[in-house]
Amino acid sequence: MTASGGRGAASRGGLIRPPEAPAHRWPLRVYFEDTDAGGMAYHANYLRWAERARTESLRAMGLPHQMLMQDHNSILVVRRIEVEYWRPARLDDAVVVETRVIAVRGVTILLDQRVVPEVAGAGAEPLAALRVDLACIDRDGLRPKRIPEPWRSALEARAAGAGAGEGPIV
Q: Which residues are part of the catalytic machinery? A: 36
CA 79/CA 41 separation, integer angstroms: 25
For 15-25, b where at least 16 C-beta lie within 10 A, e where not — what string?
A: bbeeeebbbbb
Task: Answer whether 134's CB lies under 8 Å from 78's CB.
Answer: yes
CA 58/CA 56 separation, integer angstroms: 5
Question: What is the CA 147 to chain-centroid distance, rounded?
Answer: 18
